[in-house]
Structures are given as structure tokens and as C-alpha cells.
């Protein structure tokens, strides 16, 4: 299974989580590859261009771009492509998480993200933040 971090994340987080996930995947038998969208496709790629590519791979994405779930065309495309999307919310609309808070939020929720990736039927959307639980987006 492939899980992408979008370009709203620092590139080194994908590498770091890949390093952390690899031995865990060997223990559980649920191997997961963590990739960075700009490294696989290109920096600045439009959402409407990467969504079908990620969907073809039957992959999931973690994003800070909450508008993907709000813009009609992008929402319809991620659903049509069978994408699993996790939306990481900041403190507020104007105040996103800094790098360390982002690492904390991902680390805190990673076991649940991994469970969802392997058990939930796609398409789906879940949102999470640093303090709360992962909740399904309706």
C-alpha cells in the first residue's frame, strides 16, 4: 500500500515516516510505502492532475489542503478515483501546524491511519488534528 504526503508537508517527513513504517510493516505484515507527491510527480502539480494518478495506484494521501474535500470538482474526482484521503487540520483556518506539531499529529495518529488504509473501503475521507481523534468526513 502507498500513502502519499502532499506538497503542503516538508519533503523530509515522507522519508522519515517511510523509515519508521518499514520495520513496523514487517512486524504486522501490512507493508506501507510512504511517498512525497512532488518527488513522485512534480512540484506544483495541480490536484486535478495528481488525484487520478494516485487513484490508479490505489493509494491514499495525507493532506493539509482541506479544500480538496470542499471544491466540488476535486471532491467528485477523489471519490470517482477511489481515493482514500486524510485531512490534517491546523489550529484554525489561519494557523496551521508547525513542523514539530505536524510530526506529533502524524505520529499520534499513524497506527489508526494504517488501520484505516488496510481496512476501510475507498473512497473515504477522514480528518484529524493534533489534539483530537480521527473522524470520518461525511
Domains of the chain with bracketed CATH? 2-136 (3.40.50)
Q: Which of 93, 94, 76 is nearest to 85 (CA)?
A: 76
Residue-wise pLDDT tens digits, 83-111: 999 999 998 877 889 999 999 999 999 99
Q: Would you say the pTM of this structure is higher than 0.75?
A: yes
Burial code (b: 16+ CB inside 10 Å, e: under 16) for 108-123 equals bbbeebbebbeeeebb
Residue spans of the chain under pLDDT 50:
none
First-residue to last-residue Cα distance in the chain: 24
Cell of 89: 487540520
Amino acid at each position: 500500500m502507498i500513502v502519499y504526503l502532499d506538497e503542503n508537508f516538508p519533503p523530509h517527513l515522507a522519508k522519515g515516516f517511510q523509515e519508521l513504517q518499514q520495520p513496523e510493516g514487517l512486524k504486522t505484515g501490512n507493508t506501507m510505502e510512504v511517498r512525497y507527491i512532488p518527488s513522485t510527480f512534480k512540484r506544483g502539480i495541480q490536484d486535478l492532475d495528481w488525484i487520478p494518478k494516485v487513484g490508479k495506484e490505489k493509494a491514499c494521501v495525507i493532506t493539509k489542503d482541506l479544500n480538496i474535500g470542499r471544491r466540488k470538482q476535486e471532491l467528485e474526482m477523489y471519490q470517482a478515483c477511489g481515493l482514500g484521503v486524510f485531512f490534517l487540520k491546523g489550529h484554525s483556518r489561519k494557523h496551521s501546524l508547525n513542523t514539530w506539531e505536524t510530526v506529533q499529529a502524524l505520529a499520534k495518529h499513524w497506527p489508526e491511519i494504517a488501520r484505516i488504509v488496510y481496512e476501510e473501503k475507498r473512497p473515504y475521507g477522514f480528518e484529524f488534528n493534533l489534539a483530537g481523534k480521527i473522524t470520518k468526513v461525511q
